[in-house]
Amino acid sequence: MAVVTARGLVRTFGEGRAARRVLDGADLDVAAGEIVAVLGRSGSGKSTLLHVLGGLDRPQAGTVEVAGERVTGVGERRLSALRRRHVGFVFQFFHLLPELTGEANVLLAGRVRGARADAPDRARALVDRLGLRDVAGSLPHQLSGGEQQRFAIARALVNDPDLLLADEPTGNLDVQAGAEVLELLRELAREGRAIVLVTHEAAAAGIADRVLRLERGRLEAA
């Protein structure tokens, strides 16, 4: 069963002759336990695709469903609730709040309105599971890139999402830290999550069950 289904996605930036259509009828299905890597040149629309799948951006045409719930065409309140329940985001630049410790960044994700009741306990358990307990009290600038990314992944998992969207998650990491993050993503997929991974790195694409290329606004087998 597909965790995420997208049909006919269209997203255009700019107007008139300067308009650029980065998604032009893109379709995608990703099943539980599957990792799909999306490749494409810089500016091809890979990040836009993730934002549309996760409800951070709205397409001008097309539909998206995540865990059987409609993402497109719904109000902001319902969309926010859907993201909290079903979608986790991991970014290249981590986006940890600099004034909070690593663990506090993870705990914060469990304090948003509508979060799971067990989110604080789950956050602490994730910090332990990802081998971060010894640095849990450190601020982001005191952490290595690999540690920051693992805290970011823990934060994305606090509400136990069905879908994990990862935008160049190893782009700022050295080879060893990148390999550790990729192995973690593979482990998370084995637990039944669907993962869509945007990357330009061969090692990251190498952990995927399928590799697609975003060309001229459509997803094609690489």
182-195 pLDDT per residue, tens: 998 999 999 999 99
CB of 196 within 8 A of CB of 53?
yes
Query: What is the percent of the chain where pLDDT is above 70?
Result: 99
CB 139 within 8 A of CB 99: yes
Higher pLDDT, 182 or 113: 182
Q: What is the pLDDT of residue 112?
A: 73
* Gap between the Cα atoms of 57 and 113, Å rounded: 21
pLDDT at 141 over 90: yes
- Written as six digits, the tokens of 171 are 């782009």
Within a 10 A sphere around the Cβ of 9, how many other Cβ atoms? Answer: 27
pTM for this prediction: 0.90
Helices (H) then strands (E): counts for the chain: 7, 10
- C-alpha to C-alpha distance for 23 and 13, rounded to whole angstroms: 10
Find the mean pLDDT for residues 158-183: 90
Structural domains for the chain: 33-58+75-221 (3.40.50.300)
Which string of b and e fits 141-179 if b means at least 16 CB within 10 Å? eebebbbbbbbbbbbbbbbebbbbbbbbbbbbbeeebbb
Q: Residue 80 — very low, low, confident or very high, per pLDDT cuts 50/70/90?
A: confident
Cβ-proximal residues to 80 (8 Å cutoff; 6+ apart), any chain: 114
